[in-house]
Structure 1
Amino acid sequence: MPTSVGASAPPESSPEPRHDDDHDWFTRLGNAVLTTDSRQRRTLGLLLLAALVTATVVALLVYATAIGVAQARHIGWLAGFFGIFMVGFYATIRSGLNRRFSDPTLALPQVMSAQSLIATGYAMTGPVHGATVIMLSLVMVFGMFSLRPAALRVASLYTVAVMGAVMYWCVRHQPEHYPARLELFNFALTAVVMIAISQLSGQLMDMRTRVKTQKIALEQALTHIKEMAARDELTGLPNRRRMMNLLQEHATRHARGGPRFYVCIIDLDHFKSINDSFGHAAGDAVLRAFASQAQQVLRNTDMIGRWGGEEFLLLLPETPPGEPTLGVARLRDTLAVMPASPSLPDLRVRFSAGFARYEDGEPIDQAIERADRALYAAKSAGRNRSVVL
């Protein structure tokens, strides 16, 4: 509505916050830091988590210098080494150079480097050096989720060896802060913890293997169940529900520019007399033989499913090679010279077929109804023929 002269214009509304832009910004930042590759992101995520823990430890060591139990120069060197360690591994993984190694996660080098730096910190922290022993265990716990048991045993042995050497050096050069008896206790405790973690790693790997095996088995069972739910048990063809889904998918594809298709319903002529004369086992054999021949004769693009009883539904796209209706004609000719089943060499299978060409935008049920009317017309005209509506 136009505004009258002299009327005050309505105040402009304040812009809405752009939450989507914020989300996109965080996404771009995450991709820039962690890459878009899922495996690389997982590896970098673990490294950054380790960096966060390391930063916390460095902060505690800085506090130790503030209360006078550690030398600032030593802690500064240690923090610098930790920084170089983290930046070096981050650059290697972020650049993709880690893919050249047999273990792209570089878990073993990371664990061994971390343990070396912690052992160095053990020698630098004087009166509070016992606190660094906890970090050895924390690093190994991280390793349990990244390393195989054999590699974790190597890391454990390395940790025990390097800590033994550092403790021996500390006892010789700083006995006032590193008494021999206390260091012997710390060494024994470190060795026991490393051995325990190695054993737990093996058990954890066994559990992960069992869980993975169970997951694969469950996925296979689910796939089999889905397949069974979409297949006719007798003929192995897609069942009615599956064919309805396929028809709807093709209708949607056609609406987006895909090929048009025909719906065809086939009914085996005088099938009830086969059951009555030869038994239901013979009737089942005829149904299986028909399904097998149809799959061999029809085009690769054609799809056939069991619609119910002796009726079958075909989805026939208008794509090369040949016209959609020709495949059904070939199937009729093939069945005219072939036995209905090995147990009935003299019996021939004949069928009536009704075709409906799918029209733009019509419901699938409507196309099926037209095919069904065409089938009824084929039966009324004497059977063993096809009618297109």
Structure 2
Amino acid sequence: MGSAASSLPSPIAGASESGRPRLTVERLARRTRQRRQIQSMIAACFVLDAAVLLIYAHSGTTSVLVAAGYALTGLALVAVYVLLSERGFHERFRDHYLVAPQSAVNMVNLLVFTYIAPEVGVLFLCNLFVVFGFGALRTSARQTAVVWTIMVLGLAALFLGTDKAIGMPTGTRIDRLGTMLVFALTIGRCMYLGIFSSSMQQSLYQSGVKLKEAYRRIEELAELDELTGTSNRRSIMRTLDDEIARCTRNGSSCAVALIDLDHFKRINDVYGHPIGDEALRTFAIGMFANLRSIDRFGRYGGEEFLLVLPDLSQDQAMRALERLRAIIADLDWSAFSPGMRVTISAGVTTLKPNENSDTLLARADGALYAAKARGRNRIASA
């Protein structure tokens, strides 16, 4: 089978080769083991083919020397590849399995033996299909074209440049046994090729799914506040800008509210930062449980939060915030610590024509300070 197995690396191995990253000792050792396993499979294929040639030799169709020469040549090639691999030669190349060179060398080897022993040429020619098929799994289009060209030129020289009659021995029962084994081994190797190709595609698909999920998770984490699970400042500001752009296009209304937890520094000082963190998380949960699906809520900074309320007028937004204020105030905060109480103040405003996020938030911030100045635990508008 020659270099047929030379394209049998793990689909995961070398997946990040494009950037030629610095490889760890562990990965280098793993790649060397993989190459060693591949060459072991190739050696086994040479031995199996030599056994079939011995069957032909037993019937007198070919010489024992052909079987011995084919086995020794194949094992010598394997030994060279293993020696180069163990010395790290393969790591100099992007394809550290050297699939294309191995495929080309083994195709030449098969064509030479077809010329030397044309009476059993069916064995060598069948192996050409297997070598090319396995090599094509890992080689680039250009490499595949080069290997194919070498094969075609060799076949042309063999069929058109000589008068050798390529044989498929069937003269005796032993010959038919040998030929049957040739086709059985070829079909078995092609089946293995199909199974490996399928498993490689499945592995790549699963890796793609995992990578996509990892990117999604990274993107999600990049947009979320770690403590409260709300959108972080960058994310909520991007949402606000998008909403302003939508309102500008459609002429629809939009309200925003800057919300602040009253006396939050005192909560941290009196009850401790762990309780303060729990208060922030509980506040966020209470808000999420009572918002519309189109509302967007994020941590603006510290204990300040920004609430974007699409399609609400000033009066509607005020009523919504008053309802949320009452809900937060009525939560059982004493469960965290006896006597603990948490309230919120908020500044509400609506988008004006041609207004940007800076001026919109400045007006909301002014309303928030007005709410605090009036005694906190209340809602003010601007």
TM-score normalised by L of structure 2: 0.53
Shift of 1:388: 1.3
Matched, 1:380 2:377: no
Q: Tell whether the 8 Å contact from 1:335 to 1:348 is kept in structure 2 after alignment.
A: no
Cα distance between partner residues in 2 of 1:387 and 1:318: 19
Alpha carbons of structure 1 residues 319 and 367: separation in structure 2 relative to 1, 3 Å = closer
Shift of 1:297: 2.3
Shift of 1:191: 3.5
Shift of 1:181: 5.0
Alpha carbons of structure 1 residues 341 and 215: separation in structure 2 relative to 1, 3 Å = farther
Cα distance between partner residues in 1 of 2:133 and 2:265: 71
Q: Tell whether the 8 Å contact from 1:354 to 1:386 is kept in structure 2 after alignment.
A: yes
Shift of 1:180: 4.2
Q: Tell whether the 8 Å contact from 1:339 to 1:345 is kept in structure 2 after alignment.
A: no
Q: How does 1:91-102 map to 2 (within 5 A)?
A: none
Number of residues paired by the alignment?
A: 231
Alpha carbons of structure 1 residues 303 and 178: separation in structure 2 relative to 1, 3 Å = closer
Counterpart pick for 1:361 among 354, 357, 365: 354
**One-letter amino acid of the structure 1 residue matched with residue 245 of structure 2:** T
Shift of 1:281: 0.9
Alpha carbons of structure 1 residues 216 and 367: separation in structure 2 relative to 1, 3 Å = same
Aligned residue for 1:261? 254
3-state DSSP of counterpart to 2:354: coil
**One-letter amino acid of the structure 1 residue matched with residue 360 of structure 2:** A
Aligned residue for 1:251? 244
Cα distance between partner residues in 1 of 2:255 and 2:297: 12
Counterpart pick for 1:292 among 270, 274, 285: 285
Matched, 1:371 2:371: no
Aligned residue for 1:157? none
Matched, 1:330 2:323: yes
**One-letter amino acid of the structure 1 residue matched with residue 329 of structure 2:** A
Cα distance between partner residues in 1 of 2:171 and 2:251: 82
Give 4+ residue runs of structure 1 displaced > 3 Å after superposition.
Answer: 133-138, 177-191
* Gap runs ≥5 in structure 1: 1-129, 146-176
Aligned residue for 1:242? 235
Q: Tell whether the 8 Å contact from 2:347 to 2:381 is kept in structure 1 after alignment.
A: yes
Cα distance between partner residues in 2 of 1:353 and 1:179: 93
Q: What's the CA shift string for 1:326-385, capped at 9, x where partnerless? A: 221011112232222622253221222111211222221221122112212222232222
Structure possessing the higher relative contact order (Cα contacts under 8 Å, 6 or more residues apart)? 2
3-state DSSP of counterpart to 2:289: helix
Aligned residue for 1:349? 342
Cα distance between partner residues in 2 of 1:308 and 1:179: 84
% identity of equivalent residues: 37
Alpha carbons of structure 1 residues 323 and 136: separation in structure 2 relative to 1, 3 Å = farther
**One-letter amino acid of the structure 1 residue matched with residue 300 of structure 2:** W
Aligned residue for 1:214? 207
Matched, 1:198 2:191: yes
Q: Tell whether the 8 Å contact from 2:168 to 2:179 is kept in structure 1 after alignment.
A: no
Cα distance between partner residues in 2 of 1:230 and 1:178: 68
**One-letter amino acid of the structure 2 residue matched with residue 367 of structure 1:** L
Aligned residue for 2:218? 225
Q: What's the CA shift string for 1:33-69, capped at 9, x where partnerless? A: xxxxxxxxxxxxxxxxxxxxxxxxxxxxxxxxxxxxx
Cα distance between partner residues in 2 of 1:279 and 1:338: 19
Shift of 1:243: 0.4
Shift of 1:211: 2.0
Q: What's the CA shift string for 1:49-103, capped at 9, x where partnerless? A: xxxxxxxxxxxxxxxxxxxxxxxxxxxxxxxxxxxxxxxxxxxxxxxxxxxxxxx
Q: Tell whether the 8 Å contact from 1:137 to 1:194 is kept in structure 2 after alignment.
A: no
Q: How does 1:4-19 map to 2 (within 5 A)?
A: none
* Gap runs ≥5 in structure 2: 1-121, 138-166
Cα distance between partner residues in 2 of 1:259 and 1:345: 46
3-state DSSP of counterpart to 1:297: coil
Aligned residue for 1:29? none
Alpha carbons of structure 1 residues 135 and 376: separation in structure 2 relative to 1, 3 Å = same
> RMSD value over aligned CA atoms?
3.6
Cα distance between partner residues in 2 of 1:247 and 1:271: 25
